[in-house]
A and B are shown apart, each in its own frame.
Chain A
């Protein structure tokens, strides 16, 4: 249980810190695609009887670099290339897992996460890689922000744009792989994107959006693990549903707040406001 919680908290903090750059670039679904590719890595690991986490990291890093190189070319066929890579990844994973001796229940563990079977060694790997990703995302924030916000300007500023893009690709792959034990390959993208989407409903700047998104990620992860322990639901899906609930609550709350404030402003300025029928007549003339 403690191991499960530690793993979930690290992912809850790391995934949104990386995801904000993907959202800013309008690559929200890239994590999902890399997750598909990682499944082939899991299949390779099970077939060779190696650690599936290790082989998944290697295969998804290779896949992510491939995706980045396709994106950099900016060809329209890039879309199709991505589709081939993603579906090839998931089909390859299913076939390889089928070829190995492990049963299909094993596959579900990776697709939807399985915190309870997380070993001590897994948690150590998750902690080391998670902290590395987190430090990179926080320390390089100005440079990564510049690249994601305006790539051409970043190039003219002499920033190592290509290296930074590859760094983002590699850290995405690493985050997907370490999150696969917690939320699973099919849901990992949600933890990268949903907290950011929720935070930006109420924030004005990039730095505050990042901080609020990380907070939402950690709270959803902690609450998700606790709730799933109490009512015996799968932890990964529970974490994601809680994150979406936070998104809905913030969206509804901020909309209501905006409407209320407008009403109050209108009431306050009532004397000065022009009656609406006069405005309509003036417009019609």
Chain B
């Protein structure tokens, strides 16, 4: 069954085409990675699927329903690139993860035991249950990313959408990530993730979609790494990508000499 379907999708930013005639499909139980360089439009593609960026042309279906009429948002768990702009007011890990229940329980009904259990189970899954009462700001970058995964898992979604989940995350957290996603996929969950570098996630991926210059350049099995990406011991660490501004040429950090 089709979970996400994009047909002739197009996105423009201030008159410039960011995505052109994009067609692809994710079916139930698949783990799909969208790959591409910085500024290729890969993040824009998932943000468009989720309705955060307006579609200039084409159609998107979610779980077989046109996106404009799609209402069962609880079926989707979204994991953004990083925690919301570090607000001034402290919030505990448990409070942030509890936001993930809102899609299921609605905004007027107070939290019940089932909601609290789901929050604890999600934190257990990502290995952060002992931090439930700690302020999120005291967590490391990787732990904050795991908190965001727990928030998405707390809603018991059928589809997880992750935007560069491992960018700038330490190796231990990347392994923890891969394990969490692996368990989600084993339970029959569908995953759509954007990545610049797959790392320990690679064995999970059923299908790779490579976005280049706003178009889908490749669709199929994960391409073999080439060039110095493939070199053993190549320490591939990237800073967080700047929000995509297509008019600006992003320096190809991959091609910089490794120090």
Cβ-defined contact, B89 with A20, below 8 A: yes
Interface positions, chain B 77-110, Cβ under 8 Å from A, are 78, 80, 83-85, 87-92, 94-96, 98-100, 102-103, 107-108
A152 touches B88 (CB 8 A): no
The answer to whether B134 and A155 touch across the interface, beta carbons within 8 angstroms, is no
Asked whether, in the complex, the Cβ of A206 is within 8 Å of the Cβ of B91, the reply is: yes
With the chains together, A20 CA to B111 CA distance in Å?
A: 21
Task: Say yes or no: is B73 at the interface (Cβ < 8 Å to chain A).
Answer: yes
Interface size class of A (residues with CB under 8 A): 20 to 34
- Asked, given contacts A142-B111, A205-B133, whether A157 binds B88 with beta carbons under 8 Å apart, the answer is no
New contact pairs (10) apart from A23-B88, A26-B88, CB-CB < 8 Å: A146-B99, A150-B99, A153-B84, A153-B151, A154-B99, A156-B50, A157-B155, A158-B103, A159-B107, A200-B88
Query: How many whole Å from A18's CB to the nearest CB in chain B?
Result: 13
Asked if B71 is at the interface (CB within 8 A of a chain A CB), the reply is yes
Chain B residues near A23 (CB-CB < 8 A): 88-89
Question: B51 contacts the other chain (Cβ, under 8 Å)?
Answer: yes
Judged by a CB distance under 8 angstroms, whether B76 is at the interface is yes
Shortest Cβ gap from B69 to chain A (Å): 13
The interface size of chain B toward A, counting residues with CB under 8 Å, comes to 36
CA A140 – CA B109 in complex, angstroms? 9
Residues of B within 8 A of A (CB): 50-52, 71-74, 76, 78, 80, 83-85, 87-92, 94-96, 98-100, 102-103, 107-108, 111, 133-135, 151, 155, 161
Q: Does A82 sit within 8 A of B, measured CB to CB?
A: no
Cβ contact within 8 Å between A155 and B52: yes
Answer whether residue A204 sits at the interface, using C-beta atoms and an 8 A cutoff.
yes
Residue of A nearest to B52 (CB): A152
A148 beta carbon closer than 8 Å to chain B = yes
Q: Hey, which chain A residues are within 8 Å of B74, CB to CB? A: 157-158
Residue contact B76 to A149, C-beta cutoff 8 Å:
no
